[in-house]
Amino acid sequence: MAAGQLVIGVGDQDPRMIDLASGTAGEDLRTVVELAAAYEGDVSVEPAARGKTALVRSQLPGTRR
């Protein structure tokens, strides 16, 4: 994590992975992807011990590179 970067992780216990590029991601998650992109960020989904974790990374306003 770099200075001026915000990272938020949200996990669940559902083992099914989400494909952010396809239509399997819900509308709410697609909105999060769009917001992260607006702040030079991204969203990734990673497997966890029980389920998966979605990580949202973005630059804080006023700290853009």
Give the domain range for residue 53: 5-59
The CA distance from 15 to 58, in Å, is 25
Residue type, 19: D
* pLDDT tens digits, one per residue of 8-54: 999 999 988 888 877 667 888 888 888 888 888 999 999 999 999 99
In a domain, 64, yes or no: no
Q: Which two tokens stand for residue 64?
A: 């853009």
Q: Is residue 6 pLDDT above 70, yes or no? A: yes
How far apart, in Å, do the first and last CA atoms of the chain sit? 14
Rounded to two decimals, the pTM is 0.74
Residue 65 domain-assigned (yes or no): no
- How many domains does the chain contain in total? 1
Look at residue 12 and tell me if it is in a domain: yes
d(C-alpha 17, C-alpha 53), whole Å = 9
